[in-house]
């Protein structure tokens, strides 16, 4: 059968490629299906000025180090080039753009319904990331707000925002970085649920990865690990955020309770007008395509043991973050999950 594979990987971003790297060595017949027109995964869609938190040598997929970036912390274009060259280097079989709409399972075989027809496989890896499922909280009055709203998933640059009143919502890294950029040309407000937590200036993504590794090891050895001391959700002081601090714009205003037609009503009842709201409020997991064979929770999470789906034999989930492996949502961290996953799949297909 032409469209029958041992393994199909859904998603051709960094997680899908890391899995392909290990699959390629097994001799199994595999294929990657990705719904983007070109290589790069979520990096194609992030804002233009986004830079990695860590230098190139701490941002590599298995097998091939990311080339050094002349600009220190690599910009998004450098990451996209690396991912494109990575898939060429290893000649991975990839079909694009192919959207996997849903899956069915019959007599141990998965049948994938896609925008390019049907595909079947004995095992499936879902590596679809989070970018396609941005999260906007349900806030009272949101439907009557007349201004423009966009999520960080769709923000590219401050063009078109000059001199507008812009509200940035969210106290994470996206919120801080977009605030830093937008505040150069607009009047900004920053709404947060809790006070932003900043990492010390000298700590970057290298340190975060070392911490994640220490946590992994401690838990494996049954030792105690103090997560409070090493909160990975803190803001990394990248140069743009440091510069914004100098300008005095990293001022958060707490949370607002509802919208009115022209803006928001803050916790103390004050009304403030805004033309634009940028939601930097995170993502759910893009697992809708699995709804027919397994029930994801409200965030899109699926019960797993490591990366293996607990209740669906033959299905693995790679790259979504902590619940599928420590640091698995990062370039350097996903290799570890990918290697274990392919070992498990090889054993499963040999049974």
Q: Does 9 bind ligand FAD (CB under 6 A)?
A: no
* DSSP conformational letter for 61: B
Candidates 47-55, 183-191, 217-225, 246-254: pick the segment binding ligand FAD (CB under 6 A). 47-55
Q: Does 10 bind ligand FAD (CB under 6 A)?
A: yes
**Which residue has tokens 């697992």?**
287
Q: In Å, how far are 74, 193, 223 from 154, measured between CA atoms?
A: 21, 22, 42
Identify the CA nearest to 293 among candidates 100, 99, 35. Answer: 100
Candidates 7-15, 193-201, 210-218, 248-256: pick the segment binding ligand FAD (CB under 6 A). 7-15
Q: Out of 286, 315, 342, 345, point to the residue binding ligand FAD (CB under 6 A).
A: 286
Q: In the bound complex, what is the minimum distance in angstroms from residue 187's beta carbon to ligand FAD?
A: 23
Q: How far apart are the first and last CA of the chain?
A: 22
Cα 157 to Cα 154: distance, rounded to the nearest angstrom: 10
Alpha-carbon Rg for the chain, nearest whole angstrom, is: 21
Annotate each residue in 114-153 with x if it binds ligand FAD (CB under 6 A) or - if it does not, as one string. -------------xxx-xx---------------------
Neighbouring CB atoms inside 10 A of 219's CB total: 12
Q: Out of 8, 52, 294, 342, point to the residue binding ligand FAD (CB under 6 A).
A: 52
Closer residue to ligand FAD in complex, CB, 161/329: 329
Q: How many residues bind ligand FAD (CB under 6 A)?
A: 34
Cα 268 to Cα 86: distance, rounded to the nearest angstrom: 52
Q: Does 337 bind ligand FAD (CB under 6 A)?
A: no
Q: In the bound complex, what is the minimum distance in angstroms from residue 267's beta carbon to ligand FAD?
A: 27
Cα 157 to Cα 177: distance, rounded to the nearest angstrom: 11
Q: Does 14 bind ligand FAD (CB under 6 A)?
A: yes
Candidates 19-27, 32-40, 268-276, 339-347: pick the segment binding ligand FAD (CB under 6 A). 32-40
Closer residue to ligand FAD in complex, CB, 264/327: 327
Q: Does 53 bind ligand FAD (CB under 6 A)?
A: yes
Q: In Å, how far are 17, 149, 257 from 41, measured between CA atoms?
A: 10, 24, 35
Which residues in the 178-217 window bind ligand FAD by CB under 6 A? 205
Closer residue to ligand FAD in complex, CB, 173/341: 173
Q: In Å, how far are 33, 106, 184 from 118, measured between CA atoms?
A: 12, 14, 49
Q: In the bound complex, what is the minimum distance in angstroms from residue 214's beta carbon to ligand FAD?
A: 18
Cα 126 to Cα 314: distance, rounded to the nearest angstrom: 11
Candidates 38-46, 241-249, 254-262, 271-279: pick the segment binding ligand FAD (CB under 6 A). 38-46
Strand order in the sheet with 187-191: 148-151, 276-279, 165-169, 187-191
Q: Which residues sit at the interface with ligand FAD, rule CB under 6 A? A: 10-16, 33-36, 41-43, 52-54, 59, 99-100, 127-129, 131-132, 173-174, 205, 286, 289, 319, 329-331
């Amino acid at each position: 059968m032409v469209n029958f594979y041992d393994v199909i990987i859904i998603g051709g971003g960094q997680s899908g490629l890391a899995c392909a790297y290990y699959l390629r060595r097994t001799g199994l017949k595999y294929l990657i299906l990705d719904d983007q027109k070109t290589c790069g995964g979520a990096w194609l869609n992030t804002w233009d000025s986004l830079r990695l938190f860590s230098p190139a040598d701490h941002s590599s997929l298995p097998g091939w180090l990311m080339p050094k970036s002349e600009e220190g912390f690599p910009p998004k274009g450098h990451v996209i080039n690396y991912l494109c060259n990575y898939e060429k280097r290893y000649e991975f079989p990839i079909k694009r753009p192919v959207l996997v709409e849903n899956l069915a399972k019959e007599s141990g075989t998965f049948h994938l319904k896609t925008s390019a027809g049907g595909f079947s496989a004995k095992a499936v890896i879902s590596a679809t990331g989070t970018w396609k499922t941005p999260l906007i909280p349900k806030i009272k009055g949101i439907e009557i707000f007349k201004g423009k709203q966009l999520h960080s998933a769709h923000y590219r640059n401050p063009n078109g925002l000059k001199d507008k009143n812009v509200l940035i919502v969210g106290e994470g890294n996206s919120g801080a970085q977009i605030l830093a950029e937008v505040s150069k040309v607009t009047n900004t407000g920053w709404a947060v649920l809790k006070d932003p937590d900043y990492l010390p200036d000298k700590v970057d993504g290298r340190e975060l990865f070392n911490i994640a590794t220490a946590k992994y090891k401690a838990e494996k050895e049954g030792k105690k690990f103090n997560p409070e001391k090493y909160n990975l959700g803190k803001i990394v002081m990248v140069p743009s955020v440091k510069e914004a601090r100098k300008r005095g714009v990293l001022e958060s205003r707490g949370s607002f309770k509802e919208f009115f037609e022209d803006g928001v009503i803050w916790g103390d009842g004050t009304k403030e007008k805004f033309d634009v709201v940028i939601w930097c409020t995170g993502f759910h997991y893009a697992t809708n395509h699995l709804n027919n064979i397994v029930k994801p929770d409200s965030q899109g999470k699926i019960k797993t043991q490591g990366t293996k789906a607990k209740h669906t034999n033959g299905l693995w989930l790679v790259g979504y973050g902590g619940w599928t492996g420590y640091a698995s949502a990062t370039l350097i961290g996903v290799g570890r999950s990918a290697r274990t996953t392919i070992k498990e799949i090889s054993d499963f297909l040999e049974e």
